[in-house]
Amino acid sequence: MQSTTNQTKPVAPNQRIEYLDVLRGIAIFFIFCANIVYFSGYFDFPVELRTGPTFFKIDDYFEFVMHMLVDGKFYSIFSLLFGIGCAIQLQNITSQNKHFTSFFRRRMLWLLGFGLLHLVFLWMGDILTLYALLGLVLILFVQCTDKQLLQWAVILILLPLLNWGVIHLLGFNYPSFFYNLNPQFNAYVGVPNSTDYGILLTDFNAYLRNENLLDFFKANMGATFIRIGDILNEGRAFKVLGIFLLGLWAGRKILNENLLENRAFLKKIAIWGLCIGLPISCSRSFIVFFLDSSDFWSFMSTLSYAFGTVPLAIAYTAILALVFKKEGRFLHWFAPVGKMALSNYLMQTIVATIVFYGIGFKLAGSLGYTLVIGSGLLIFSAQVIFSRWWLKRFTFGPMEWLWRQLTYGKRITNKR
């Protein structure tokens, strides 16, 4: 890769909007809080096997509150930030009289490569692959008007309801094709299966206990089919693309109409988002925790997710923007993590795998919910310290630096 004077230039560090880095860092933290519960084997091992101290009812209450306030909200914020980032990159590229589509497509294809490696070999819960694929679709919408972006966003966010109807009412359970591929692949490579709720899938208890690195990779490859099935079953691609479009709209408003300085609008968004999103999210958590999994309650859960999650996520972004502008000095601690979001996201997988899995310290299933979240807080705190240390010496995080070089096709100096 050679540096040339006529190549596209990346956004300079001093042109970044710090609030967006702060918001990205906060989102990364709460996404990790949601993910680490799965890394820890909390759902895969019986309670009596937990050797660490548990807090019984406190664990139950805490899990309910986290589900109500966190589940889905912060990956929605991360999706919103993805759309905002697209708007910023569009302005940067077009201001240089360069072709945005080829640039962004190249950026997404490299992200897809990172995502596939993460998904197939490290963790089935990867979001990078889906983001990269939908980022390629997002290109089709960059010329839409603001009104068209909002219309498409609403349609896409509500499409999971139609997806539910196709699967449950029409009986066209197309995600089952990928679920069925999982045990077939496992049988072929020698990975254990087990029956869960009448479905034959990867034995996650054995997967978490496994101490063989090659078997770990084999199990991850097979679990990829479960991930595809889950995304299709939830209609997640529709949700994420819809939120991308909201982010693209918000990015335009931030760049062209100084949205982050409009306190009256931010307060209105915060109030309406809380009033709509909080009670509906509470209802969804009640359904998930206390009611049966019949088709009726399954539909009500999907309905409440569609109408509750995005408003509450948007309310969070508005509240944090207001706090950041007024008394947000403590929020600046999240900015370094946000600037290194890709590096930190991938590092969370590596560290959590080492801590909990059989190929590492074998702590899976040994901690209650509160201690699992507490361990996530400790890991994230270390990431805050590391990110601050790294960015004093380098301009970009290690993965961000590699991604930029591959995207722009030239060497980019990283050391300060």
pLDDT tens by residue, the chain, 416 residues: 433 344 555 555 545 689 999 999 999 999 999 999 999 998 888 776 776 666 667 888 999 999 999 999 999 999 999 999 999 999 989 888 888 999 999 999 999 999 999 999 999 999 999 999 999 999 999 999 999 999 999 999 999 999 999 999 999 999 999 999 999 999 999 999 998 777 899 999 999 999 999 999 999 999 999 999 999 999 999 999 999 999 999 999 999 999 999 999 999 999 999 999 999 999 999 999 998 878 899 999 999 999 999 999 999 999 999 999 887 778 999 999 999 999 999 999 999 999 999 999 999 988 889 999 999 999 999 999 999 999 999 999 999 999 999 998 888 888 88
Q: What element of type H or E holds 110?
A: helix 100-121
Q: What is the C-alpha separation between 157 and 164, in angstroms, rounded?
A: 13
Q: What is the C-alpha separation between 400 and 405, in angstroms, rounded?
A: 9
**Tokens for 265?**
């609008």
**Tokens for 319?**
């509240």
Residue 289 CB coordination number (10 Å): 12
Q: What is the C-alpha separation between 270 and 315, in angstroms, rounded?
A: 4
Name the residue type at position 178.
F
Name the residue type at position 15.
Q
Q: What is the pTM of this model?
A: 0.92
Q: What is the DSSP letter of 202?
A: E
CB-side neighbour CA atoms (13 Å) of 14: 0
Q: What is the C-alpha separation between 81 and 328, in angstroms, rounded?
A: 19
Distance of CA 153 to the CA centre of its chain: 18
Whether the CB-CB separation of 223 and 181 falls below 8 Å is answered with no
What pLDDT sits at residue 386?
Answer: 97
Residue 222 CB coordination number (10 Å): 24
Q: What is the DSSP letter of 195?
A: E
Name the residue type at position 296.
F
Q: What element of type H or E holds 199?
A: strand 199-202
User: Of 306, 315, 382, nearest to 344 (Cα)?
Assistant: 382
Which three-class secondary structure state does DSSP give residue 415? strand
Domain ranges of the chain: 13-408
Tell me which residue has tokens 């630096």.
401
Rounded to 5°, the CA angle 180-182-188 comes to: 110
